[in-house]
Amino acid sequence: MKMTKMSSLMLRKSSAVLPRMVLGISDLVVQHKCSELRHPMEEQARPPSEDTRKERRTRIPHKPNYSLNLWSVMKNCIGKELSKIPMPVNFNEPLSMLQRLTEDLEYYHLLDRGAQCESALEQLCLVAAFTVSSYSTTVFRVSKPFNPLLGETFELDRMEDCGYRSLCEQVSHHPPAAAHHADSRHGWTLRQEIKITSKFRGKYLSIMPLGTIHCIFHNSGNHYTWKKVTTTVHNIIVGKLWIDQSGEIEIVNHKTGDKCKLKFAPYSYFSRDIARKVTGEVMDASGRLHYTLMGTWDERMECSPVSSSSNFENGGDRAPESKTLLWRRNPLPKNAEYMYYFSELALSLNALEEGVAMSDSRLRPDQRLMENGNWDEANLEKQRLEEKQRTARRKREADRERAGESDSPVDPYKPLWFDRKMDPVTKEMTHIYRGTYWDAKERQDWNACPDIF
């Protein structure tokens, strides 16, 4: 009898679904559990079958309680570009910038759902929600990621359970730049090259990501681009560190001309607005408004269709219809405050995996030592790796001089998995994936990988 009641309870729980939304944009809020793409009309997202689900790491060693005066290091950095200043691992989290870039895919299911949309404007709403969602992992993450070594890579192969796989490579050291390419069997490609510039302003640190992000949906050919906003770390001198995102993002569909304008409002102590507020408008090529977006970058995003009534067209008030929940942040894992506030995805990123390239961030020794709590040894190892990188650069410069190319100011280093070429859409010079990494992994042919560790 007890078993019958328990089975009945489990059945009722498993059949519970979120309320049905009125638009086809979002049938339900899918939490970040890797799942197969379901038909939009299905009421419940089912977990993947046991034979394809891979056990993921759910915890890392707790952060040691090492004390270090941040101001003692930062006071000599005012107005300087921080990427050129060596920092102890005490200010880091045990992930590289390549792994942080991969975290943009935390809510990949938004793009899966976007690939199902027949309406380009509805699809644009989901792309906008995906854009905002990439900042949700930063809200408590005040530690900096490791600066990748030149030639460092990071792969994330979730093709079996999530339908996508991703590759990042550090393609430039000064200025630091990383190229990223992700493909999904559910019909989308995401690619970007991000250069990080940062300046210490005295009381706060500004982090400005430069570069364009591309999202292409295969069936429709819709090609979206956008850029990131500025991240600010406050209370560098005194008080508790906290992070804000501010600025504007314009997402453009280069096929249809549709646009979405997002505004990240900077936090103000005197404002009555909600903190971390994001608002947006989705317009067609003629400039006509179709949807408004509202929410916060750390919690959720909603959208509302805008009435096309004559009153509005004549300058009257907007008449938003019912709201649709596009995205909601996943809760943090238990004891996240002791594990650098990592999300479920972040906790799994540095777990060792077989068969990855020898340049993969998981194999970086200083980062591994830091994750295991051996910070003194990690600092020594970090110095060794940075000196090895400087030695390799000097050798390339010497080789260039011997070849009679000393007049060229450009480091002759060439990335292994990305080619530098002009982007056909934005006409910017950028690094685009060659398409050879996963074949090399299948053959386990890493002979061309640089010896960076």
Kindly indicate whether the domain formed by 70-349 is annotated with CATH number 3.40.640.10: no
3-class SS of residue 146: strand
Structure confidence by residue, pLDDT tens digits, 56-81: 999 999 999 876 666 666 666 665 56
- Looking at the DSSP bridge assignments, the partners of residue 283 are 259, 289
C-alpha–C-alpha distance, residues 202 and 77, integer Å = 8
What SS3 class is residue 221?
Answer: coil
277 with 265: CB under 8 angstroms?
Answer: yes
CA separation for the pair 425, 443 (Å, rounded): 33
* Helix, coil or strand: residue 54: coil
Q: How far apart are CA 411 and CA 269, in angstroms?
A: 46
Average pLDDT of every residue of the chain? 85
> What is the pLDDT confidence band of residue 409, given thresholds at 50, 70 and 90?
low
Strand partners, 204: 234
Lowest mean pLDDT among 237-241, 274-278, 368-372, 383-387: 237-241
Q: Is the Cβ–Cβ distance between 342 and 102 less than 8 Å?
A: no
| Residue at 262: amino acid letter | L
Place 408 in a pLDDT band, splitting at 50, 70 and 90.
low
Q: How far apart are the first and last CA of the chain?
A: 61
Res 52 pLDDT > 60:
no
Kindly report which listed range (184-193, 284-293, 408-417) carries the lowest average pLDDT score.
408-417
Listed range (76-90, 102-116, 155-169, 430-444) with the worst mean pLDDT = 76-90
pLDDT tens-digit series, residues 81-131 = 666 667 789 889 999 999 999 999 999 999 999 999 999 999 999 999 999
Q: Measured between alpha carbons, how far is 236 from 72 in angstroms, rounded to an integer?
A: 11
pLDDT given for residue 175 in this prediction: 86
Q: pLDDT category, 28, cuts 50, 70, 90?
A: very low
Domain boundaries, the chain: 70-349
pLDDT above 70 covers a percentage of the chain that reads 79
Q: Name the nearest CA neighbour of 151 among 400, 359, 361.
A: 359
> And the tokens for 195?
């250069």
Q: How many CA atoms lie within 13 A of 378 on its CB side?
A: 20
d(CA 198, CA 364): 24
pTM of the model: 0.84
HSE-up of residue 44 (Cα within 13 Å, Cβ side): 9
pLDDT beyond 60 at 230:
yes
pLDDT at 32: 38
